[in-house]
Amino acid sequence: MKSHGGWIIAASFLAALLLELIPLPEWARFVRPQWSVLVLIYWSIAAPQRVGVGYAWLLGIIQDVLTGTLLGQHALGMIFVAFIANRLHKRIRVFPLWQQSMLVLLMLLLDQLLQFWTLGVIGQSPKGLNYWVPAFVGMLLWPWMFIVLRDIRRRFHVQ
C-alpha cells in the first residue's frame, strides 16, 4: 500500500501546535485543551502504521521547545498515549463516538498525570484542580475533532 498525504499529517500537527500557543483571555487559559495530544490520538488510531511512538516523541519535544517546558515533559506523556492508541486502534475505531470520548478522556488524563509527576519531581507541581480541566474539555471536543479530521483524511486520501 502506497502511503501518501504525509504533509496533511504534518500540517495538522503544526495547526495543533499553533492552537496551543495562541493567546487566550486570562480566564480561558486553564481551559485550553491539549490540541496536540488530540490530533496525535486521531492519527495513531487512523493511521497506526505511520504515526506511532516515534512521531509522538518528536511532537512532544517540539511542544516542549515551543512552550518552554522541561525537554521531554510533553514527550513522555505523548509516547504513552500514542502507544495505547496504537495498540487499541482496531477496537477504538468501531466504538461509537461517546465511547471513544471516554477512552480519549482516559488517555488525556494519563498524559496530564505523567506531566504532573514530572513537574512534581522538579518541584514545580501545579496547585489546584484547574490543572485537570483541559482533559475534560478535550473529551467534549473529541467527537468534533474526530469528524473534522476524518473528513480531511478522506478528502486527501491519507492512509
Partner 1 sequence: MTVDHRFDQFAKVRTFLANIAAPVHYLAALPVEIFSQLSGSLQSADDLQQRNADLRRKNLLLSARLQKTAALEAENLRLRDLLGSSGKLHDQILIAELIAIDLDPFKHQAVINKGSGDGVYKGQAVLDANAVMGQVIQVSPISATVLMITDASHALPVQVNRSGLRGIASGTGQLDQLQLHNLPLNSDIEVGDLLVTSGLGGRFPAGYPVGQVSRIEKPAGAPFLSVYARPSAHLERARELLLVIPRDNQSITAASLTQADNDAADNDMSPL
Site for partner 1 in 117-136 (CB under 8 A): 118-119, 122-124, 126-127, 131
Is 89 a residue that touches partner 1 (CB under 8 A)? no
CB of 96 to partner 1, least distance (A): 33
Instruction: Supply the minimum distance, in Å, between the C-beta of residue 133 and partner 1.
Output: 10
What residues contact 133, with CB distance under 8 A and at least 6 apart?
30, 31
Question: Does 26 help bind partner 1 (rule: CB under 8 A)?
Answer: yes
How far, in Å, CA of 80 to CA of 107, rounded?
9
CB 83, CB 53: distance < 8 Å: yes
Nearer to partner 1, 101 or 112 (CB): 112
Nearer to partner 1 by Cβ, of 61 and 141: the residue is 61
Q: Cell 492519527 belongs to which residue?
A: 43
Contact with partner 1 (CB under 8 A) among 8, 17, 109, 137: 17
- Asked if 20 and 66 count as a contact pair (C-beta separation under 8 A), the reply is yes
119 class by beta-carbon count within 10 Å (0-12 exposed, 13-18 middle, 19+ buried): middle
**Helical (H) or strand (E) element with 129:** none
C-alpha 141: how far from chain center: 12
Task: Give the closest residue to 107 by CA, choosing from 124, 130, 86, 131.
Answer: 86
Binding mask 52-81 for partner 1 (x = CB under 8 A): -------------xxxxxxxxx--x-----
Least Cβ distance, residue 115 to partner 1 (angstroms): 9
Q: By CB under 8 A, tell whether 112 contacts partner 1.
A: no
Residues forming the site for partner 1 (CB under 8 A): 17-18, 21-24, 26, 29-30, 32, 65-73, 76, 118-119, 122-124, 126-127, 131
